[in-house]
Structure 1
């Protein structure tokens, strides 16, 4: 049996990791969240260090999601290093990173955190997923705008995106948490095909019976609109790296890593849209 802590258990990928592990008899799963405490849930808050050690007590494998930088905790890498020091029984970690993180500047949080994990004594696997299909079904991303305005506006330069299903991210994470054959690997997680965002809107329109459109937003005004004089500089640097990649031809590249890790094809965007259709009606 492997005792596993899933961080961000209520988040997009965390809940999928929990779901994937729920069918595995060899896993004892503890969910980390800010407010719940029960036999299977531990209170965990990045801002409250006194919650770290109890949540990690007895944990052997960890699904790790980095926190956001804040004025009180500006150095994410050091914060995560301190967290790992609170887990003496930990032997395996699966880090949720981002697509293209391996090519980013070494001083950006994504790469600094990856380096921390790569240089640790733990068995590690790093997941680099592309844009989630589920963003189109999430009110905090595009669902609300689609339902109220009938459109989504994002800079892509007309390039296609190889969207990935969060359930595949969860399945790969679960496999890596339980099987050491995944140790030392970087998995770039995409779907089995790439689609322009205009094509994505056409598919959603067809399934939902409503007409949705896509507008290719100019990159610089889009970034400027989301900039804040009160935010740390690294937020602006991160946003630029994300959207510059989305506006490049590399965004359409298709990885076979889901197939390699799971022995089955990645879920398609068409399947996701068919299953989610009622949300957009």
Structure 2
């Protein structure tokens, strides 16, 4: 897979991985290992969950834009949500600037938030009474089944959300500063920039 770019004169590779894969075990890092063995200048990006998941990931965004109630089995677990704008800036720097080869950047936002915290910030910005409701994994699986999602999707989501409930992604890292020389954008900046105008009225 990686012989073709090398043969075409490609010098640098930047891989979008995820912090969760490294924390779940070596078996999830096969692609990272292939990139690192490519012989090219490589950089690996391991971000936390994206702040933009609240507007772009259907199982989070749709409940907020619709009934205004987000039900997840994450409890009070926190995640240091990273802004995709920071991820894009780091990727661009790694592709176009020297000094990033052989680096693994673990990227997070500057503070950890529970889903309840994040929904409360979005509610204030949107002017809607949005709610986060913690549920059990069995309740969440039933919710997904009622929405028509197959068991395989439920299995994957529950593993990822359990990772948050256990606060395995709550640690704030300095990867954005290491790569760019500036602090990471705060979740509040993402909320203010987004505006959440589409959440001001429930979707009928």
Shift of 1:248: 1.5
Residue 153 in structure 1 maps to residue 71 in structure 2: yes
More helix by share: 2
Secondary structure at 1:182's aligned position in 2?
coil
**Superposed CA offset, 1:145-203 (max 9, x none):** 21211111222131111111000000000000112311111111110011111111111
Segments of structure 2 that go 5 or more residues without pairing to the other structure are: none
Moved more, 258-267 or 239-248: 239-248
- Determine the C-alpha separation between the residues in 2 that align with 1:222 and 1:107: 27
Q: What TM-score does the superposition give when structure 1 sets the normalisation length?
A: 0.63
Indicate the residue corresponding to 2:199 in structure 1.
280
Asked whether the equivalents of residues 94 and 127 of structure 1 are also in contact (C-alpha less than 8 Å), the reply is yes
Q: CA deviation digits over 1:187-234, x for unaligned, max 9?
A: 1111001111111111111111111000123235535747736x5xxx
Contact residue 155 and residue 246 of structure 1 kept, 8 A: no
Residue 201 (1) aligns with residue 123 (2): no
1:51 alignment counterpart? none
Q: Is 1:215 aligned to residue 136 of structure 2?
A: no
2:62 is matched with which residue? Answer: 144
Distance change >3 Å, CA 238–CA 115, structure 1 → 2: farther
- d(CA) in 1 for partners of 2:128, 2:61: 13
Give the equivalent residue in structure 1 for 2:107.
Answer: 189
Q: How many Å separate the matches in 1 of 2:58 and 2:157?
A: 17
Aligned-residue offset at 1:101: 1.9
1:176 is aligned to 2:117:
no
- Counterpart pick for 1:267 among 174, 182, 185: 185
Aligned to 2:14: 94
Would you say the 8 A contact 1:97–1:129 is kept in 2? yes
Partners of 1:264 and 1:143 in 2: CA distance:
29
Unaligned runs of 5+ residues in structure 1 are 1-81
Q: Which has the higher contact order (CA 8 A, sep 6+)?
A: 2
C-alpha distance in 1, partners of 2:44/2:103? 6
Q: Give the one of 131, 134, 139 matched to 2:49.
A: 131
Distance of aligned partners of 1:139 and 1:194 in 2 relative to their CA distance in 1, 3 Å threshold: closer
Distance 1:135 1:129 in 2: 13
User: May I ask how many residue pairs the two structures share in their alignment?
Assistant: 193
Q: Which residue of 2 aligns with 1:20?
A: none
* 1:246-265 matches, cutoff 5 A: 246-265=164-183
C-alpha separation in 2, matches of 1:267 and 1:246: 21
Q: Return closer, same or farther for 1:134/1:255 CA change in 2, 3 Å cut-off.
A: same
Q: Does 1:112 align with 2:40?
A: no
Are 1:137 and 1:279, in contact at CA under 8 Å, matched by a contact in 2?
A: no
Name the SS for the 2:44 alignment partner: strand
